[in-house]
Amino acid sequence: MASIEIETLEQLEAHLGAGHPMGNVVVQGLDLSSYAGTLDRVDLSGTVFLGTQLAQSTYEHACAAGAVIFRPPLETPFSPYRSRLYSAEELFGEFDSRDSTTYANTLDERVYQYTRRPEVRGDILHSLACRLHDHAITDALDEKIAGRDVVAIMGGHGLERTEPQYRDVAVIAKALAEAGYLMTSGGGPGAMEATHLGAWMAYRGEADLDLALATLARCPTFTPREEWLATAQIVKRSFPQVAGPDGNLADSLGIPTWLYGHEPPTVFATDIAKYFANSVREEGLLAIATSGVVFSPGSAGTIQEIFQDAAQNHYRSFGHPSPMIFLGVEYWTVEKPVYPLLTELAAGHDYAELIHLTDSPREVVQRLVELRDR
């Protein structure tokens, strides 16, 4: 029987109020110190508490009942048992664009610097805390994507905001978000940022997109990080999200890693699943993109992702193959001739018909929508 996850106090109160037992229940990341009067009278056998604060009487009662209690193995700047994805506000809320030194105070930077401390790297308890954190992120990620049509866009982190390809990626993401897709990427700068900018600008005209790009052009690359972040925040304030015909805002999912912590995550993603383990993040990003992956020009990292995605399609690792759309004919056939090799690899397999090459952002969108609706 599947475990029941309780991640908010409202869920706990509803569960107890309905008289449901606490066996096979996982309570995650909550402060239950004030619930001793209720919990101390409940049978807690079979209950699992993950990173939950308990009153001493409840702790003793839970231990006596045989409940399982996981407490953080040590003090860390992050919660190993968080129950939700990150937001840009949580990661960068301490940043003040008027004072570049405040970047060091952000949660994102503090966690990154934590991973670089000599006493942390290789320490078994610290690595355990990171693994617990990544497990919690994966759980929250699964909840986020449930029932969604997910499309990922891959491409170079060094793509400058002023380059035509950056705008092309933003246009693609904007159109796909308006078509109901949940847009995702590696959550960093370059083509990744363009993906989330496009989703953020959904339901606005392209004139607004161009005005946003003009602001971002003040800092074309992600160095210095402080200016890169500040210009993005200006765009977010200047162009708040617009609801679509259904009254909902377009969301997007960034999946960055602290392994590349010198590359800040984009603030245009509405949800951020940031990992410590890049291997988990890489495979998971491709695995969830069941409605397709768009490959814009990129270097070694993007090419690695192409063949990782191809392997998942080739061996049907996740049940069925997903579309692979390549943006940039000359780039993928001449400069980095991956496309001919990939089509040769796919020959005779059903995913061969899901591979497409084009120079047209509009055609990228049309092909993905056609494959979804056929």
CATH of the domain at 201: 3.40.50.450
Question: Does residue 76 belong to any structural domain of this protein?
Answer: no
Please list the rounded mean pLDDT of every run of 10 residues in the chain (374 residues).
91 96 94 96 96 95 96 87 96 94 97 93 90 96 97 97 98 98 98 98 98 98 96 98 97 97 96 95 93 97 95 91 98 98 96 97 98 90
The pLDDT of residue 11 is: 97
CA dist., res. 224 & res. 7, Å (int) = 38
Q: Same domain, yes or no, for 229 and 280?
A: yes
Tokens representing residue 172 in the block = 């693609």
Contact criterion met (CB below 8 Å) for 82 and 76 = no
134, with CB counted inside 10 A (0-12, 13-18, 19+), is buried
Q: Same domain, yes or no, for 146 and 127?
A: no
CA dist., res. 74 & res. 90, Å (int) = 22
Q: Same domain, yes or no, for 329 and 261?
A: yes
Domain boundary among 132, 147, 166: 132
DSSP state, residue 249: P
Domain boundary among 21, 44, 70: 70
DSSP state, residue 25: E
Q: Same domain, yes or no, for 227 and 312?
A: yes
Q: Same domain, yes or no, for 154 and 299?
A: yes
Tell me the DSSP string of 323-336: -EEEE-HHIIIIIS
CA dist., res. 211 & res. 227, Å (int) = 18
Q: Same domain, yes or no, for 182 and 314?
A: yes
The pLDDT of residue 258 is: 97
- The number of residues making up the chain comes to 374
Q: CA torsion sign, 310 to 312 to 313 to 314? A: positive
The pLDDT of residue 96 is: 95
The pLDDT of residue 283 is: 87
Q: How many domains does the chain have?
A: 3
Q: Which domain holds residue 51?
A: 4-70
The pLDDT of residue 275 is: 97
Q: Same domain, yes or no, for 28 and 92?
A: no
Question: Does residue 255 belong to any structural domain of this protein?
Answer: yes
CA dist., res. 255 & res. 214, Å (int) = 26
The pLDDT of residue 374 is: 83
Q: Same domain, yes or no, for 256 and 367?
A: yes
The pLDDT of residue 121 is: 86
- Would you tell me the crossing angle of helices 278-288 and 124-145 to the nearest 10 degrees? 10
Q: Same domain, yes or no, for 141 and 245?
A: yes
**CA terminus-to-terminus distance, the chain:** 36
| pTM recorded for the entire structure | 0.93
The pLDDT of residue 75 is: 86
Tokens representing residue 34 in the block = 């004030």
| 3 state DSSP class of 368 | helix
Q: Same domain, yes or no, for 127 and 154?
A: no
Q: Same domain, yes or no, for 188 and 56?
A: no
The pLDDT of residue 74 is: 80
Name the amino acid, one letter, at 312. Answer: Q
